[in-house]
Chains A and B, each alone.
Chain A
Amino acid sequence: MNEDSFFSNDWMETQRKYWESWIAMNRKAMGLEGGSQTAPWESALEHWWSAVSPAAPAASKQFMERMMEQGKSFFKMAETFLPTAGGGGDGWSAFSKALEDMQKGFMGGLGGSGDDKNAMHRMLAFWELPLDNWQRMTSSMSPMFPGDFLRNMPHDGMQDQVDRLLSAPGLGYTREEQGAYQDLIRRSIDYQKALQEYSAFYSKLGVKAVERMRAYMQDLISSGKTIDSARAIYDDWVNCCEAVYAEEVSTPAYAQLHGKLINSQMALKARMSEMVDGQLGALNMPTRTEIRTLQDRLQETRRENKKLSHGLKVLQAQVQALASGQPLAPGARVKTHNVPRAALIAGPADSKAAAPKKPAAKPTTK
């Protein structure tokens, strides 16, 4: 079966059958006038995706999954705020409860230990985005550690033991090596702390965003307007989150947090690189430090070479002009009046040495 026929036949048929049965089931459960039970919207969407995705072409799958993730987010939002979600009572109580539940979820990420610390990550997938972006970025930069391997590593409970371990002086023949490993662990912990502070910052932002959403809803009530679709409530939620985020990340405190996260990660990577270099040296293989030294020297040589080549070209042009008694042609004029004195002594600062000998290709369409 080729992919075209898959789309024109099986794919659409699978969807149609799935939705027919799902809608029938749902209507039966809720009644056409609106049900009294919480609708499993998010899981329904997931169910749909799990039914059709195995047959989906690999080329599109990843892209579609990203949209599925966001789709689940906004149907989850709608589910959370459905007037019937509170299990009865007046609408405002249900609505307030939904906001409080969201807030509790975020606050769960601020304190406690173990699972509580990861509460934020279990909350709306939406709030995973900034951290997810960081994780993807660190993954792409650290093939040794897929994902961010320190993100969930507990450290508070073992802090005392770690401090004692790290303060013990290295001894004997491997003293330097012991010191390097101690430093590696110290930097790992620094990075871990920075990452968890960064995560906690987003938890606090989540709490503030919920507050902003509550205020926005109050404004809607005052103005007599309503939200009547999952998409609209999702867009409003995005706007609240972006507004709170923009305020918080423009503060000097956030700049420090951001700097600490990057600096601690770089410090860790730097130590790891040094240790890898040490191992490579022991195996009599070229190290990164050596390669960088070569790169620096090579680039310096290339600079000098280009200056010399250009200097030669300048001299040739001047000799030619002198010999012919003609001034230099426009465009071939070699600038010397604006060249810094130091550059004139060392040779012209610019070079045309690498220019091709042929003139610019003339476009055929002219």
Chain B
Amino acid sequence: MIPIDIRPDKLTQEMLDYTRKLGKGMENLLNADKIDTGVSPKQAVYKEDKLVLYRYDTPAGVTPRPVPLLVIYALVNRPYMTDIQEDRSTIKGLLATGQDVYLIDWGYPDGADRCLTLDDYLNGYVDRCVDFICESHGLDQINILGICQGGVFSLMYTSMHQDKVKNLVTMVTPVDFQTPGNLLSSWVQAMDIDLAVDTMGNVPGELLNWTFLSLKPFALAGQKYVNMVDVLEDADKVKNFLRMEKWIFDSPDQAGETFRQFSKDFYQKNGLINGGVVIGDYEIDLKNLTCPLLNVFALQDHLVPPAASQAMKALVGSTDYTENPFPGGHIGIYVSGKAQKEVTPSIGKWLNDRS
């Protein structure tokens, strides 16, 4: 006996269903409106080069808390992931808890931005955004929420400017870049980063896309589209799928000098663990970070394994350190229904208890 029991007539029916769904799907694809990116109303309050600092409108009936929250997103991909659709929005959830939310949109670096360094990003752009918000609110300190690479930025920023940060939240943020099973880190070890950056200048988003797809190539570049056929008949699900698809491939190029330092200092040298990371005039030491710290990570994260985030606990100087593990993946922590109910409200509560 063999374990396959597929009858030809059943296979015919399966194929018929498949093509029927494709046919219907084509109609839905054509009728899908332009894919919107970011759903919550916001205002641009500060601009510098390609950076735009947004402030989100507080929903009616909500009184904003006195200490605003600055969201620092990664340079990789675009920050509208945090506000991807009406019923899947981290930003919306934060606003609902009374946070006065600001977000940095880094824009799309081009050749002229090639020589931007981590010092330019952190002690330049981020620091000026923080100063701007402090001045606007008449405060000395604000809350910061860093996401993924933006979480690493926020850790480093706080270690350099602890006096400006009241509370820090990190989401899916790597600290130990060389935990077992970290494929990205393993692959970068034999790469000649200097040669790559010297050759390309900025690092193309396509190269990053290829790298991320290579983590699970058969599922991410193949099976996903077969699964997509199952939802093609539902216009709303098609639109949601297309929105995610847009986000996945909407990858800005990376400023060459920043990519050089980030890849070498963190992926190759594991600098937050081993030390030796120098940003401008500062040597980064997470012991300088003494404010309350909430570390949110995803238990099924294939990009930032939980252990990579949890390494933070032993390194920071904070005595008020809380971990919030979420049973989901790197993206699910923002877009899943469960995350809307659990993650965002818990972040809001944690901040409200301390602001």
Q: Could you list which residues of chain B lie within 8 angstroms of chain A, going by C-beta atoms?
A: 1-12, 14-16, 18-20, 22-23, 25-27, 29-30, 41, 43-48, 55-60, 64, 111-112, 114-116, 120, 123-124, 127-128, 131-140, 160-164, 181, 183, 186-187, 189-192, 195-196, 198-201, 204, 206-207, 209-210, 213-214, 216-219, 221-223, 225-226, 228-229, 280-282
Q: Which residues of A contact B11 (CB under 8 A)?
A: 39, 41, 75, 78, 82, 230
Contact B282 A350 (CB under 8 A): no
Q: Which residues on A are within 8 Å of B, measured CB to CB?
A: 3, 7, 11-12, 15, 19, 23, 26-27, 30, 32, 34-35, 39, 41, 44-45, 48, 52, 56-57, 59-60, 63-64, 66-71, 73-75, 78, 81-84, 91-92, 94-95, 126, 129-130, 132-134, 136-137, 140-141, 217, 220-221, 225-231, 233-235, 238, 241-242, 245-246, 249-250, 252, 254-256, 258-260, 262-263, 266-267, 269-270, 273, 288, 291-292, 295-296, 298-299, 303, 306, 329-333, 335, 337-338, 340, 342-343, 349-352, 354-356, 359-361, 363-366
**Secondary structure dominating the interface of B:** helix
Chain B minimum-CB-distance residue to A202: B217
A130–B210 alpha-carbon span in the complex (Å): 9
Known: A32-B9, A56-B26, A361-B45. A95 touches B4 (CB 8 A): yes
Q: Provide the residues of chain A in CB contact with B27, threshold 8 Å.
A: 7, 11
20 CB < 8 A contacts A-B: A15-B20, A34-B7, A34-B8, A44-B15, A60-B29, A70-B225, A73-B222, A83-B2, A133-B214, A140-B206, A226-B4, A242-B218, A249-B214, A270-B198, A288-B201, A330-B139, A331-B137, A355-B132, A360-B136, A363-B43
Chain A interface secondary structure, helix, strand, loop or mixed? helix
Count A/B pairs, Cβ under 8 Å.
Answer: 307
Q: Which residue of A lies closest to B129 (CB)?
A: A355
Q: Are B46 and A355 in contact (CB-based, < 8 A)?
A: yes
In contact, A269 and B200 (Cβ under 8 angstroms): yes
Given contacts A34-B9, A217-B2, A233-B4, contact A296 B115 (CB under 8 A): yes
Chain B positions within 8 Å of A94 at CB level: 2
Partner of B29, one of A64, A70, A74: A64
* B12–chain A nearest beta-carbon distance, Å: 6
B214-A241 in contact (CB<8A): no
The one of B19, B25, B209, B282 in contact with A340, judged by C-beta atoms closer than 8 angstroms, is B282
Question: With a CB–CB cut-off of 8 A, which chain B residues contact A361?
Answer: 43-45, 55
Q: Could you tell me if A351 and B124 are in contact, using CB atoms closer than 8 angstroms?
A: yes
Chain A residue with the shortest CB-CB distance to B280: A349
Q: Which of B1, B204, B218 contacts A141 (CB 8 A)?
A: B204
Q: Given A141, A245, A270, A360, which contacts B45 in the complex, CB threshold below 8 Å?
A: A360
Are B124 and A306 closer than 8 Å at their CB atoms?
A: yes
Given A229-B14, A350-B124: A15 and B23 interface contact (C-beta under 8 Å): yes
CB distance from B269 to the nearest CB of A (A): 16
Q: Which residue of A lies closest to B232 (CB)?
A: A67
Q: Is the CB of A59 within 8 A of B140?
A: no
When A217-B3, A335-B164, A350-B128 are in contact, do A229 and B218 touch as well, CB less than 8 Å? Answer: no
> Cβ of A229 and Cβ of B48 under 8 Å apart?
no
B190–A226 contact, CB under 8 A? no
Which chain A residues lie closer than 8 Å to B2 at the CB level? 83, 91-92, 94-95, 217, 221
Q: A142 CB to closest chain B CB, in angstroms?
A: 10
Chain A min CB distance to B137 (Å): 7
Query: Does A330 contact B138, Cβ atoms closer than 8 Å?
Result: yes
